[in-house]
Structures are given as C-alpha cells and as structure tokens.
Structure 1
Amino acid sequence: MNTRWKVYRGDSTSRRDLLFTVVKPSVIQLRWSTKVSVFLANNDAVQASDFRITGSYHDGACSVSLGESDTLIARIDRRSTVVSALLGKNAYSVTVNAGIDYAFIVALAVVLDEMHYQ
C-alpha cells in the first residue's frame, strides 16, 4: 500500500518537473479519519509540511490547511449519489479561498481519490 504520491508537471516523471508530494503518515489510518501532509517540490527538508489535509474522506469532507496551522485554504466535499455509486464515479464540490491555485486543490482531490480507491 502506498504512503507517498508524487505529482509531476504533464506526463513527466523527472525530478525537475515534480510539483508536490502527498504523504500519508501511516499505512493504517482509521476509515473515518483522513490526515495527510503535502510537501512542495522545493521543500527538500520534508520536516514541516507546506499544506495539510484533514477530515474524513469517507464521510465526504476534508479541509486543506496552510502548513501545520489552522488556516483553512480550501474544502473538498465528496458527493455520493445513487448514479455515482452505480457507475463507480465520484463527484466533488470544492471551495477554494481567494488567491489559492484551483488546479492545485483539484489535484489534491484526485490524489485523495486515488489514495482511498486504489
């Protein structure tokens, strides 16, 4: 089971195209609890995270915070419908604060989905 996901620019897997890494601190996390750390590519020390995702992906709501602070920058809500369950597809609602890169938050939603449905 993966505990680390790397996100690159385009189809590249080159270190120079690395955008960020998402790390789940433990292979075993409680089903109702989500806690992952996000490290930007230039954070070589990987001691303090640049962003943190907490909440409950399975209950459908996660918050994205700046570093280890309580400053929320976005919220990712997973919507469950009968159609999405039958088709095996998830739908999301994303709320992003002003000045935050929308594509970055959507990429985090994709990583969360992969993390929970591999």
Structure 2
Amino acid sequence: MDNSMPVISKIFCSSTLTTLMIRRRPIVVNGGGFVVTDLSNNVVFIVDGCGMLGSKGELLVKDGDGEEILFISRKGGIIQALSTWNKWNGYSMDYQGKKKLVFSLSDPKLCITKGAPTRIHIEHKRHCKNWDFEISGSFADRDCTITDCSGKIVAQMGKKEQIGCKDFYHVVVQSGCDKAFIIAVMAVLDNIHGESTRC
C-alpha cells in the first residue's frame, strides 16, 4: 500500500522512516547554507542561502546532484510590513525554470503573536483546517516537531549527543513524508533564526 504524502514530489517520499543529518556550512565557505546527508554520508540535499544567492530572504533547495528543486522567498511589500506574520513562499521549479507555488509558511513576528505556532499551508491540498502542518518546539535548541493538521508527527528534529554542537543535527522523517519539503521547512527556520542561510 502506498502511504506517500508528496508535497514537492513523490520521488522524495520513502517507504521507511529516514534519518537525515544536517551540517551547516560556514558563511565563508560556499556562501553558507547547509548540506543534508543520509546515514551513509551520501549528500541528499543542499541548501543555499543569502551568501550564495546574494539576496536576503531567498533560499534554494537542491538535490544531491545539485539540481534545483525548490526556490523559497520571504514575502515583502507594504502589506507584509503591516502584517503580524512573516510569510514565506516555496516554489517548485520545472526543467524550464518555471516556478509554481507549493507551500506558504507563516511565522509570528510581533509580541502579540509571539508564542503562536508556525503554520504551513500546502497549495494543492484539501485542508482539514485552514493549515496543513504546524511547527512546535524550539529550532534554536534543536528540539522541534512538525505535525500535520490531524496531530500526527511527520518529522522531528534533534541534536546528535556525541557531537553536541549546533552546526550538526538530525531530522527524523516519518515514512511516506516528503523529505524535500521537510528540508525546505528546516531552511526557512534556519533563516528565521539568523543561522547559516542568513547574511
């Protein structure tokens, strides 16, 4: 039985639970961002941030071969400036370079909304609420969880105890979940918290 839940593509969904290792690149090396490997140390995804792209609030997720699969940008403009939420949009990229909106992530930015959960809306889904995924916990402490709108955990982040530094952590992705989407969410959280993808 196929229990895959693709957001970006079915090719990024695995039939088994998957642990992905994330290592931050120093900003001075290849423009910052981070590299994602599997437990066999094979590069699965690469995330480029401001240092590589040259623009604040823009991120690029590539597969292990360096092919661009997702472009993420923080929404700007006067309406966004007046909003109590920061909004990020993720766009899939086809072979011709055309972009198609896949998801939107809303992060609280003001005191009155601080403590409110970060929510993700998937463009092509029928929603069980007015959002599809929710992020809880602390990214800064490397202890956060992504759940779907029914409360089911789809991914959980943690530190590797033997390494014990913020430059190296892991994300456990449940079977059937889209790993590229989870890494895209990690990239946005990294940027929000002023880490390796931010200038």
Q: TM-score w.r.t. structure 1 length?
A: 0.71
**Cα distance between partner residues in 1 of 2:183 and 2:122:** 15
Deviation at 1:98, TM superposition (A): 0.5
The verdict on how the C-alpha distance between 1:18 and 1:78 changes in structure 2, with shifts beyond 3 A counting, is farther
Structure 1 partner of 2:158: 77
SS in structure 1 at match of 2:144: strand
Identity of aligned residues (%): 26
Distance 1:13 1:44, change over 3 A: farther
Q: For residue 131 of structure 2, what is the aligned residue in structure 1?
A: 49
Shift of 1:91: 2.8
User: Aligned with 2:180: secondary structure?
Assistant: helix
Q: How many residues align?
A: 105
| Residue 23 (str. 1) matches residue 106 (str. 2) | yes
Question: In structure 2, what is the equivalent of residue 108 of structure 1?
Answer: 185
Matched, 1:91 2:172: no
Q: Does 1:7 align with 2:84?
A: no
Maintained 8 Å contact 1:55/1:62: yes
The structure that has the greater radius of gyration is 2
Structure 2 residue runs without a partner (length 5+): 1-80
Q: Distance in 2 between matches of 1:91 and 1:49?
A: 30
| Cα deviation 1:56-83 (Å, max 9, x = unaligned) | 112211101011x3211111235652xx
The structural deviation recorded for 1:43 is 5.5
